Amino acid sequence: MDSAVKRVEVLFIEGCPSLHETIARIRSAASALGVTIELLETEVTRGAIADGFCGSPTILVNGMDLEKDAHPVESLCCRTYHTESGVQGAPSLDLITRALR
C-alpha cells in the first residue's frame, strides 16, 4: 500500500446537492484503503472557474480527475456520474476507490 499522502480536491458550486455525499464517499474510500488524504474543498464561483472544473462536484486526486475522459466546463453547473445504480450526482465509491489506489 502506498503510504504517501494523496491530495484530494473537491471543486464545487454553492448549494451543490451532491457535495456532502461525495465528501462522505471520499472519506469512506480512504479509510477502507488505509490511505492518508489531504482533503481540500474549493468553491468555484463565476469570477473564478477553476482549472479542471468539470461540473460540481469534481474530484481531483493529485491533480487528476477521477474520470480520464472528463471535459472541463466554462460555466457553473452540476456534474453527473454514470454508476452501477445509474446516473448520479456523486461518483460511486468504487470510482473513488480506484482513483485513490
Query: What is the tally of structural domains in the chain?
Result: 1
How many CA atoms are closer than 13 Å to the CA of 16, on its beta-carbon side? 28
Q: What is the pLDDT of residues 7-29, one digit of tens each?
A: 999 999 999 999 999 999 999 99
CATH number at residue 69: 3.40.30
Quote the pLDDT of residue 65.
95
Q: Give residue 77's domain range.
A: 6-100
Q: How far apart are CA 66 and CA 95, in angstroms?
A: 7
Quote the pLDDT of residue 2.
45
Q: How far apart are CA 16 and CA 31, in angstroms?
A: 24
Q: What is the pLDDT of residues 43-90, one digit of tens each?
A: 999 877 777 899 999 999 999 999 989 999 989 999 999 998 999 999
Question: DSSP letters along 10-25, please?
Answer: EEE-TT-TTHHHHHHH
Residue with cell 471543486: 11
> Is residue 1 in some structural domain?
no
The DSSP 8-state label assigned to residue 47 in this structure reads T
